[in-house]
Amino acid sequence: KSTILTGITTTGTPHLGNYVGAIRPAIKASKDANASPFYFLADYHALIKCSEPEKVRHSSLEIAATWLALGLDTKNATFYRQSDVPEIMELTWMLSCVTAKGLMNRAHAYKGVVAENEATENTDPDKGITMGLFSYPILMAADILIFNAHKVPVGKDQIQHIEMARDIASRFNHIYGEHFVLPEAIIDDNASILSGLDGRKMSKSYNNTIPLFVPEKKLKKLINKIKTNSLEPGVAKDPTDCTLFSTYQAFASEQEVTDIRQQYAEGIAWGEMKKILFEKINSEITPARERYEALMQEPAHIEQQLQEGAVKARAISAPFLLELRKAVGIQKIV
């Protein structure tokens, strides 16, 4: 069985981008008997970007309820909270000690902030960069390697981190013997990256999201807020770089997309397109929204599911960590 792994950072309310890019394909994979999926709430990752405890706590509840409402098969999948598996943090340290600083210097997330600082002529290029941000690819490597995950479905922006996880794993294997499988990134070329209300990538950190399970009325309102150009009805419109169109594509069949493309050429009014998009998304998520609302009233049930997931996860991570401790020479004297 191949082990696949996906995590969602607990920094806010899950949105349409998380759904289309990660959760929807992962739920599908959770039903594949040939796969052994590991899905987790990345709450230690959340601390890198968010220092609001209540937000992190509430986000964990919302994200867990989302996975369950969407029908995650918790028998086949191991569904857990990162912080319930302390072996991940212990492994992070072991990996930190074999990771060259130079490798982390090249990480996009870190380099991006340095570049921004330099662009604003900031005297300190490292302004606002914590060690958490700098070394987060190592935490991500530990997430993957602790379960020897073979396949990690990721967006194109995350390919570098998987390569880093491979580098780190090879280095460890080279020094201490073969312990880790080298993970592979699985990139779905058809997977779309949804844009947010402001046209940038939809992201919890940008405050530009359409939360997945907002009430119907609110969903309609948010879709109406998506930025468009000012072309009048009747004027032909270009579907390229159009958030309404690309979002529709992520929910509709090929035939439906072809039809809409035609309607763009004929000059569909933006108001009409927004209505069509709302109806498409709403009909797909309404059944799950009802389950989500019910689950949010049952936090004890959700906690129970996470506890069960943690037991399953630790049955693997705890003995593996003992093996790794021994490999590096950390063990009882007698």
> What token pair was written down for 4?
């696949």
Q: What is the CA radius of gyration of the chain?
A: 22
Min dist CB 56 to ligand ATP, Å, is: 11
Among 2, 32, 47, 49, interactor with ligand ATP by CB under 6 A: 49
For residue 159, give Cα distances in angstroms to 107, 110, 154, 165: 11, 15, 7, 10
- Please, what is the minimum distance in Å from the beta carbon of residue 206 to ligand ATP? 7
Give the C-alpha distances (Å, rounded to integers) separating 44 from 17, 155, 241, 255: 21, 20, 34, 42
The answer to whether residue 22 forms part of the interface with ligand ATP (CB under 6 A) is yes
- CA dist 233 and 31 (Å) reads 44
φ, ψ for residue 42 (rounded to 5)?
Answer: -85, 75
Which range, of 17-25, 85-93, 98-106, 115-123, touches ligand ATP by CB under 6 A?
17-25
CA 267, 271, 274, 276 dihedral sign is negative
> Which of 24, 166, 204, 280 touches ligand ATP (CB under 6 A)?
204
Instruction: Choose the stretch contacting ligand ATP; rule: CB under 6 A; options: 30-38, 128-136, 159-167, 203-211.
Output: 203-211
Kindly indicate which of the ranges 19-27, 85-93, 126-134, 280-288 contains the residues binding ligand ATP, using the contact rule CB under 6 A: 19-27
Query: 332: annotated binding-site residue?
Result: no
Residues 6+ positions from 297 with CB-CB distance below 8 Å: none
Q: How many CA atoms lie within 13 A of 319 on its CB side?
A: 5
Q: Is 157 within any annotated ligand binding site? A: yes
Q: For residues 169 and 202, which CB has a smaller minimum distance to ligand ATP in the complex?
A: 202
Shortest CB 17 distance to ligand ATP, Å: 3
Q: Closest by alpha carbon to 151, among 63, 17, 29?
A: 29
95 marked among binding-site residues:
no
Q: Which of 47, 103, 181, 193 binds ligand ATP (CB under 6 A)?
A: 193
Member of 17, 137, 183, 309 binding ligand ATP (CB under 6 A): 17
Alpha helices in the chain (DSSP H): 16-18, 24-30, 43-49, 53-69, 87-96, 101-105, 108-119, 131-134, 136-145, 159-176, 216-225, 243-249, 254-265, 270-296, 299-328
Q: Does 60 bind ligand ATP (CB under 6 A)?
A: no
- The residues, ordered by sequence, that sit 6+ positions from 108 with a Cβ below 8 Å of its Cβ are 157, 160
Contact window for ligand ATP (CB under 6 A) among 81-89, 91-99, 134-142, 198-206: 198-206
For ligand ATP, the closer of residues 134 and 320 by Cβ is: 134
Q: Is 156 annotated as a binding residue?
A: yes
Query: Whole-angstrom Cα distance, residue 177 to residue 172?
Result: 7
Q: Is 291 in the site for ligand ATP (CB under 6 A)?
A: no
- Token pair, residue 281, equals 């998304």
Question: Is 197 one of the binding residues for ligand ATP (CB under 6 A)?
Answer: no
User: Considering the rule CB under 6 A, would residue 205 count as an interface residue with ligand ATP?
Assistant: yes
Please indicate if the annotation marks 92 as binding a ligand. no
Nearer to ligand ATP, 176 or 239 (CB): 239
Sequence ranges of the binding site: 9-11, 17-18, 143, 155-157, 194, 201-205
User: Contact residues for ligand ATP (CB under 6 A)?
Assistant: 8-9, 11, 17-18, 20-22, 49, 155, 193-194, 201-205
